[in-house]
Structure 1
């Protein structure tokens, strides 16, 4: 299962590193490349609930194998992208297909791991799985930097050997594949995909459309309205895509809220820290990957501790400690970004990583342990939908904040250097978009006064970009502060093995009766 999910985690970051080479080789616009990067994450968010349901309907082994084949086929097609007008549509389509394959693989893979261990050992087992699987995320920048020197197409070829090993090991391990013959809720799948896609699109485009633009709020508001319709529909259908009654349980709801706010930081920090290192610290792609290792060092060490706390004391203590450490870590890390010294930052990066590591496994495992009718694939699909939707929202909001703050700081730098008000307006936006990874085709050229000032102020621009990132990291600290408040809502009950092997924790008789009805033929 680790080899099966390795591709998913590597692909979350590897394409961002290779983006400049892809733009140059196939002739994408900057906005087109942004859509390519976001297509994968949006597809993950939109289809995870469907993937969790299909994992139950098809059986976990079949879902892992099918998803792996879809993922690797889409990877090969991405690597074959043609140059010219067709390039953007081609890459967006097959990056989304990769997301669909990943949405099939991950819920089923985690469900296999969960079912392989008794409740008392799941905390440590799932913690180890999540640590090792998440560790592949940091390989994205490292592999991307190394492979792009050869050809950007190789970043997709690397998925082929990982898929081959995953398929062979899945067969050798005799992974069980028990099917739950149920109807797949196609209307629900369409509604959740449309709602999430629209809302995230509005947040992503806010930096270019503007927060006051009707199109921005039409997308955000329309997406949220569609999600409300989705919830109403799911409550009325007999075999819903998402069993919303799991949210009746206070502990489950608290777990999911903690995962939502924590996920506003986990994947976004990989992207923004990597871009910060390459821009503000002038690091190479490989050095940027190494910069992230301190975060993962704290994450990996603390995750095992979080699993042990879950097994002995339940999820609540681990989530409270993790959110508190993470909030402090990101706030202190952000305060040091403007020093432009990685040596001054690593202790706080370790603390931030430790906070995420402490809470992630307990919150994820506790939700699965509380699955109604032992539908591990379904509940995993719910939690991963929430996590990936939050990551997409975080990427969109933080990206908008970064561009706006950097634009304001660059404008102040140019004004202080003597540029006129007319020159400052366009030049500041061009510089901000260039350093945040969204280059503009209309940046100043030639030997005019602004171009000369810009050449002389590059050091100041790096500091301006670092200050923009500072607000992004403060936003991540705020998100973990919200997660701490949500962790306080958890009742602190523990899940143990009941007499029949079902997960119980003193919940109501009504809930247990719901579970028994779900298990009837």
Structure 2
């Protein structure tokens, strides 16, 4: 299960490092490349809860294998994208199906882990499962940089093939029982949450192209948010909801997810924006950009260990407070140094920002899972993973819009100072902002080409200044997360929540797992009770 889920974490970050190479070869726009990253995050968030429910209906092992197959086929097709006008659409479509495969695979794999471990060993198993797979996020940029530099950016997708084969072989050898239960599927809920997330992110990401004064922009944003509200209302009244929103009645659980939402606005997007900044403004190679991101991960890895210890000794609240505060300061200081255009001078601030995320991520996620209603690990993990991936998609959309808007304005000023008329400067600046390599496609008039050549260093600085706005925005997001951490009551979970005895509680993913069929030694466990 860890081999399978490792792919979903690696693919959240591996594409970011190859963005300039993909843009240059396929002729993608900046917003198009952001959609390539976001299509994966958005479908993973929108269909995660549905994937968990389908795993319950058709069986965890079967759905894990189906999700893995969809994921690896999509990966191969992403790597085989043809050049030409259809390249951007092709890549976005199969990145979306990659996310769908991950959404089917991840909850099924988690359910298998919950089912085969007895209660007394389940906590340690889940800690290993989330700890190792989450840490593999760090491999994404390093692996992506090496593959892009040594071979081709297409290999960042093909590398999933051997990992998937190992996962499938191990799954077959493990002889995992395939438990399936007939139950209704919340189709209206699945449609509402997918449409709501998709519309809201579409409006936010296209705002720079459509304009903030555009009716279509606000129709998408407001319409998406309205659909998400309708989803919440529907789920609270549904007999068999996709997500049991009653879990948010626990103040600590709600605070954990609020912290995760605002922290994830920065955590996944930072890989894309820092990587592109390094390769454009710092003229770094993909390998050098990967090492640049390594500063962030060093801080993240060290702080993750301390964060876990703080959680064990004092609970999640102190770790979240410290992490959000350090993260806000780290991102702000990092933003301030971006215009120095020196990679090595930025490492303390990148490491500090990474340490902030490291301190809070595991404690917030673990505390939320520990507060499961009726020991419903699968259910609350579905909620937290949906929140995390939707926040990452929103962060990509918002910060991408900011980057394009500020870059355009800065480049306009630079070109006008070089003698180009305002209307020409505006058109060229928009083209430069959409092409993050800084070299618009197609022939340019002689005076425009000369102005661009003379302003090349200035344009790189303009792009660095635009990224400053993005990183300051990430610091603000962590500052809001700090305020959310103060809302946490500070209570600690010292034992597994009991399964409620009274009344026929609604059937949930983890309630179905409370009596494992076998333990790791192969000894039979108690048989599951009858269906409600």
Q: Same fold (TM over 0.5)?
A: yes
Secondary structure of 2:206 counterpart: helix
Task: Note closer, same or farther for the CA distance 1:171–1:301 as it changes in structure 2 (3 Å cut).
Answer: farther
2:521 is matched with none
- Tell me how far 1:460 sits from its aligned partner: 1.4
Structure 1 residues 493 and 257, CA gap change in structure 2 (3 angstroms): same
Could you tell me which residue of structure 2 aligns to residue 503 of structure 1? 497
Q: Which residue of 1 aligns with 2:454?
A: 456
TM-score by length of 1: 0.89
Q: In the alignment, is residue 125 of structure 1 matched against residue 123 of structure 2?
A: no
What is the CA deviation profile of residues 54-109 of structure 1, one whole-angstrom value per residue up to 9, with x for unaligned ones?
34444544443232122112222333444555544443332211111111222344
Quick one: distance in 2 between partners of 1:438 and 1:214? Answer: 30
Other structure's SS at 1:13 match: helix
Residues 448-487 of structure 1, C-alpha deviations (whole Å, 9 max, x = no match): 1x32122111111111111111111110010011101111
Deviation at 1:445, TM superposition (A): 1.0
1:483 alignment counterpart:
481
User: What is the 5 A alignment of 1:307-346?
Assistant: 307-346=308-347
Q: How does 1:206-285 map to 2 (within 5 A)?
A: 206-285=207-286
Hey, what's the Cα distance between the residues in 2 that align with 1:361 and 1:180? 32
Partner of 1:190: 191
186 and 419 in structure 1: CA distance in 2 versus 1, 3 angstrom threshold: same
Which deviates further from its counterpart, 9-18 or 225-234? 9-18
Match of 1:468 in 2: 466
**Residue 492 of structure 2 aligns to a residue in which SS?**
coil
Q: Structure 2 regions of 5+ residues with no counterpart?
A: 512-530
Indicate the RMSD between aligned Cα atoms, in angstroms. Answer: 2.8
Structure 2: distance between partners of 1:333 and 1:514:
54
TM-score (norm 2): 0.87
CA contact (8 A) 1:17 1:144 kept: no
Of 350-359 and 19-28, the range deviating more from structure 2: 19-28
Q: Within 5 Å, which residues of 2 pair with 1:329-478?
A: 329-435=330-436, 441=441, 445-448=444-447, 450-478=448-476
State the alpha-carbon separation in 2 of the partners of residues 197 and 438 from structure 1: 29
TM superposition shift of 1:153: 3.5
Aligned to 2:157: 156
1:31 & 1:472 partners in 2: Cα distance? Answer: 15
Q: For residues 35 and 232 of structure 1, do their structure 2 counterparts lie closer, same or farther at Cα, with a shift above 3 Å needed?
A: same
Tell whether the 8 Å contact from 1:14 to 1:144 is kept in structure 2 after alignment: no
1:74-93 pair list within 5 angstroms: 74-84=74-84, 87-93=87-93
Aligned twin of 2:101: 101
Residues 330, 352 of structure 2: 8 Å contact kept: yes
Q: Which runs of 5+ in 1 are unaligned?
A: none
Distance 2:129 2:420 in 1: 56
Aligned mates of 1:345, 1:310 — CA distance in 2: 30
* Higher mean displacement: 30-39 or 111-120: 111-120
How many residues are treated as equivalent by the alignment?
507
1:488 counterpart SS class:
helix
